[in-house]
């Protein structure tokens, strides 16, 4: 149950997509003066060393955030703000520290906003608590060592009636796919105007391919608008002529599904996604997708 560690994958192409969407969404929501509550169901450790043993083992950040930071051509505005957010935690051009969703969000939030971080993995929860303590953020940030799928429900709706929920489990357990759907259904019943951002992997598994379709159905039945963005960096099978028909190692693609997306998110991603696909491409199968239902 506790085998997944995001430290192996920090700064990969999936993080580039997820955190670009997160930043663009938060920046819009923070234009209003009223307090915002951000809920993160699977917060991880919060900060990751890209020069540490875990990240070096996978090397995924070299084909993710490192390519964005090394880009010579001007970046699309949303992608530039993502790069700026990562650079804020580093000195010099290269990144040695990667900020996870909790630290990206906290850096953008105002003193009267609230950030609630759920993490069940015992090691990551301890690390997250230690990392958050360094912020000296007081009551603004709370770390909760419990199941985020269940814990966030008691926080909906937030007191200010303004909230963003980020749900990005590892999906190592097949039941995560069903729990994501149940969470979104329940959340929309409790707090229909909240913004819900769901990350998911695009892998050769029926549950993964069915998830965005089922999330669309949930949003449509609730009468809420949605946005679906996906980034593919490589084919999921070995190239033609390779021995056998073995699966390629590593995650080939991922997606972000946002319910009640800010109206600024679609134009931001219309510019950023093609550039993201070009910069992060690992073979000729690299592509992107952007769908919206208003």
Ligand-binding annotation for 42, yes or no, is yes
Give catalytic residues, as residue numbers. 168
Ligand-binding annotation for 124, yes or no, is no
For the CA atoms of 80, 86, 87, 93, what is the dihedral angle to 10 degrees? -90
Ligand-binding annotation for 209, yes or no, is no
CA 10, distance to chain mean position in Å, is 11
Ligand-binding annotation for 291, yes or no, is no
Peptide bond into 157 cis (omega under 30): yes
Helix (H), strand (E), coil (C) string for 221-281: HCCCCEEEEEEECCCCECCCCCCCCCECCCCCEEEEEEECCCCCHHHHHHHHHHHHHHHHC
Ligand-binding annotation for 33, yes or no, is no
Strand partners, 115: 38, 141
Ligand-binding annotation for 19, yes or no, is yes
Ligand-binding annotation for 148, yes or no, is yes
Q: What's the Rg (C-alpha) of the chain?
A: 18
Q: List b or e across 156-186, with b for residues whose CB sees 16 or more CB atoms inside 10 angstroms.
A: bebeeebbbbbbbbebeeeebbebbbebbbe
The binding site for S-adenosyl-L-methionine consists of 19, 42, 101, 119, 147-148, 168
């Amino acid at each position: 149950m506790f085998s997944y560690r995001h430290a192996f994958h920090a700064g990969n192409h999936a993080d580039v997509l997820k955190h670009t969407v997160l930043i663009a969404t938060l920046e819009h929501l923070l234009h209003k003066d009223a307090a915002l509550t951000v809920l993160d169901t699977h917060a991880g450790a919060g900060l990751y060393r890209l020069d540490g043993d875990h990240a070096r083992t996978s090397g995924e950040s070299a084909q993710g955030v490192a390519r964005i930071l090394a880009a010579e051509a001007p970046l699309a505005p949303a992608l530039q703000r993502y790069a700026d957010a990562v650079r804020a935690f580093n000195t010099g051009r290269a990144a040695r520290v990667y900020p996870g969703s909790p630290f990206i969000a906290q850096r953008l939030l105002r003193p009267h906003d609230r950030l609630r971080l759920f993490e069940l993995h015992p090691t990551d929860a301890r690390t997250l608590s230690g990392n958050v303590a360094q912020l000296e953020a007081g009551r603004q940030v709370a770390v909760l060592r419990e199941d985020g799928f269940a814990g966030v429900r008691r926080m909906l709706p937030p007191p200010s009636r303004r909230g963003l929920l980020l749900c990005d489990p590892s999906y190592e357990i097949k039941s995560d796919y069903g729990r994501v759907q149940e969470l979104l259904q329940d959340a929309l019943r409790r707090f229909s105007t909240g913004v819900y951002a769901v990350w998911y992997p695009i892998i050769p598994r029926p549950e993964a391919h069915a998830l965005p379709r089922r999330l669309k159905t949930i949003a449509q039945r609730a009468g809420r608008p949605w946005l679906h963005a996906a980034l593919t960096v490589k084919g999921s099978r070995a190239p033609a002529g390779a021995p056998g028909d073995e699966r390629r190692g590593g995650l080939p693609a991922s997606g972000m599904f946002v319910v009640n997306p800010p109206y600024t998110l679609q134009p931001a991603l219309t510019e950023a996604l093609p550039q993201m696909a070009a910069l992060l491409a690992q073979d000729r199968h690299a592509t992107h997708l952007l769908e919206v239902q208003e």
